[in-house]
Amino acid sequence: MRWRGLWRLRLPGRHTRLSEDIKRGSRRGAFDSRLHVDNERDYVVNKLMPSALHETNLQSLLVWHGCDTVVVTGGSTSGCACATVVDGLWRGYRMIVPEACVADVHASPHFASLHDMHKKYPDVLRVAEVLAFYKSLS
């Protein structure tokens, strides 16, 4: 079984259980009910590893659309968000993390990761700053 490669062996049992919980169509795999996904315009990337850029077609989409900046949000600041930020930076993108749009299981790894990432990789910004950035594009 190749599911998630060696990552699934990192914590035996835990990721096996999570893999059952976080499947497309499951409650844990669902988008927040406050989020509107436009199926005609939005593209959903299904990732199997922490980084959204690892073995997905996200890089191709970013190149196709001429993107130079990636805004990262998500539910694991110290894991998935950090991995995506590092991968994106290595690929030459400006990475932005809106601080109120990421979370973690506990506050201490969340804030430590935000601090560490901001010192090394992305711009960790307030949501209002990110929204102003988007408004400046139009």
pLDDT in 10s for each residue of the chain, 138 residues: 344 555 555 555 554 444 455 666 777 777 888 888 898 999 888 887 889 999 999 999 999 999 999 999 988 899 999 999 999 999 999 999 999 999 998 999 999 999 999 999 999 999 999 999 889 987
> What is the pTM for the complete model shown?
0.81
Query: What is the distance between the alpha carbons of residues 17 and 110, in angstroms, rounded to a whole number?
Result: 23
Helix (H/G/I), strand (E/B), else coil: 123: strand
| Residue type at 44 in one-letter notation | V
